[in-house]
Structure 1
């Protein structure tokens, strides 16, 4: 019993529980005051107590997250593998005892000693791990907040997304046409360039997804279908190429390997890690440069968050044009170098 009476008629409280700071306090006038202090103290330190009592390993929590949530994500299996690799790298500690310092040292070793990951990849992994704790806490599987969730993400210098010019696109398509034995490669590439589809979305198209001059993409990253119209002549040619397949038959064979070989032969500079994604960036970039609306682009690309689409906004012809009209030098004579020089002379 932690609440006891002293010889002088007052009451004292002694709390000594695992995971909580030890507390001894006396001088309470009555038993009720002592018990109230005890209840408040236990409530205040309940989370640290629950954390200390949870002896499940990081792998156990990751597997629980996968069953309760990750399995429903479009990239759930990939995330699960990445998380298990992280747990192995961290030597699978007791999850409740994982500290912010341990994670920061792990990040440092991967980035600066091993040099095996870049800052963006590390931020992705950080986000995956934090999401495990946040999701399990929301589901009441755990009752504590992991220190990993409090670690700041690395700040990354924002760069303009790479895209191909029209001439580069022509070179790529010509290389595929002349060198690839898999004819599906050319069609999938065209669909990505004409609709902004991800490679996997275009490669796995089924016959029923072509209809009325449009393509409906299913099983997308956002889990939502989206429909994009095609140029009538191209749709007709694609419809003819598809032939009389069963509605659930795939239009194309797997051709990512053929595309990569063609990309290498083209001698175009593909950004690292964007062998196919640059096709999506090229669609979006040309869409905006040709006067397309960012909100329309968001719907075409299937972005859940407009901030993802806004990465292309700077390519719009009138983007921030007021900077030219309203800057303090807009009406100055020094706008023209020759005029300024003549005045000095």
Structure 2
């Protein structure tokens, strides 16, 4: 990389640095003009140059992401395992050299064949990997944009969330009452249906989280506590069940297996992956169908983004009712 005078009194620039486009240009009137061109060229290609110098593997970047950010997420360890598996599938390349084409080819392999995962599941993995690069760039651990972040997510056909009718809820509760030896199963199911809580939030409740007719959920997905009132009769039954327990004692035994067996004893055909989450969807759906407020529902469910709660808006009695009176045939 040099700035040299030419025989005619003008100046010439030659830039020959590994990782940058090779450039030779002459005819600059002054040395200052030649040096200015040199600086501008280096600045323009600096990021690409430094990216080529970054030889850290994909697994190294994933571990850096986990140390700086992932460890603070409620599901950080689960994401870390999924990301490391992706890196293994990619044969752990140099992270800065991972291309969009490689990523799209990987997506094809993962979503085809007998062991294929759904596009929705892959979109989750895509989001995790893109977040690694975006977060590390924000923290200035890297200074480049990965092509992975530029790949479009697969568009998924939006579907209405499934929920249980009152008759199906009664059938499920009857199965639990009749056959489940683990008494915790009935109470945890009731709490999920009455508060819209996630199964893990209800199953891991401690005695101290019951107070004044309410349940306060801790260690939630959003890492924020939320408090939901309960029907007085059910709350008294809960207090009787928990009467002998100390504040830090868990209310219930692990009972997810008992719940699954109870479902299998019914005629319910639940969507894939919604064995317990159907209870949360059922609470939210019935809440809206009975005229509940979307903002209140957001607070009850603990959604950070109102768009998550709006998935239930179409169930409201007055949702877009103007379509009936304002259509051209009305």
Q: TM-score range by the shorter chain?
A: over 0.9
Q: Which moved more, 1:249-258 or 1:307-316?
A: 249-258
Match of 2:64 in 1: 64
Alignment: residue pair count: 330
TM-score (norm 2): 0.99
Per the TM alignment, residue 244 of structure 1 is displaced from its structure 2 partner at its CA by 2.6
Per the TM alignment, residue 251 of structure 1 is displaced from its structure 2 partner at its CA by 0.5
Query: What is the alpha-carbon distance in structure 2 between the residues aligned to residue 190 and residue 31 of structure 1?
Result: 81
Match of 2:150 in 1: 150
Q: Which moved more, 1:222-231 or 1:244-253?
A: 244-253
The alignment's C-alpha RMSD in Å is 0.8
SS of residue matched to 2:74: coil
Match of 2:266 in 1: 266
Mark the runs of 5 or more structure 2 residues left unpaired by the alignment.
Answer: none
Query: What is the alpha-carbon distance in structure 1 between the residues aligned to residue 139 and residue 114 of structure 2?
Result: 36
Deviations 1:9-41 (A, max 9, x none): 111111122221111111111111111111111
Per the TM alignment, residue 114 of structure 1 is displaced from its structure 2 partner at its CA by 4.9
Per the TM alignment, residue 318 of structure 1 is displaced from its structure 2 partner at its CA by 0.5
Match of 2:316 in 1: 316
Aligned pairs for 1:171-190 (under 5 A) are: 171-190=171-190
Match of 1:21 in 2: 21
Query: What is the alpha-carbon distance in structure 1 between the residues aligned to residue 179 and residue 244 of structure 2?
Result: 27
Match of 2:232 in 1: 232
Per the TM alignment, residue 115 of structure 1 is displaced from its structure 2 partner at its CA by 4.6
Residue 203 in structure 1 maps to residue 213 in structure 2: no
Match of 2:327 in 1: 327
Query: What is the alpha-carbon distance in structure 2 between the residues aligned to residue 225 and residue 319 of structure 1?
Result: 30
Match of 1:123 in 2: 123
Per the TM alignment, residue 202 of structure 1 is displaced from its structure 2 partner at its CA by 0.4
SS of residue matched to 1:112: coil
Per the TM alignment, residue 139 of structure 1 is displaced from its structure 2 partner at its CA by 0.5
Query: What is the alpha-carbon distance in structure 1 between the residues aligned to residue 125 and residue 295 of structure 2?
Result: 30
Deviations 1:114-156 (A, max 9, x none): 5520010010000000000000011111111000000000000
Match of 1:341 in 2: none
Per the TM alignment, residue 113 of structure 1 is displaced from its structure 2 partner at its CA by 3.6
Query: What is the alpha-carbon distance in structure 2 between the residues aligned to residue 178 and residue 65 of structure 1?
Result: 49
TM-score (norm 1): 0.94
Mark the runs of 5 or more structure 1 residues left unpaired by the alignment.
Answer: 331-345
Match of 1:283 in 2: 283
Query: What is the alpha-carbon distance in structure 1 between the residues aligned to residue 42 and residue 113 of structure 2?
Result: 43
Match of 1:253 in 2: 253
Query: What is the alpha-carbon distance in structure 1 between the residues aligned to residue 267 and residue 78 of structure 2?
Result: 30
Residue 73 in structure 1 maps to residue 73 in structure 2: yes
Query: What is the alpha-carbon distance in structure 2 between the residues aligned to residue 74 and residue 68 of structure 1?
Result: 14
Query: What is the alpha-carbon distance in structure 1 between the residues aligned to residue 67 and residue 98 of structure 2?
Result: 22
Match of 2:294 in 1: 294
Q: Name segments (4+ residues, structure 1) moved above 6 Å.
A: none
Match of 2:222 in 1: 222
SS of residue matched to 1:45: helix
Aligned pairs for 1:100-111 (under 5 A) are: 100-111=100-111
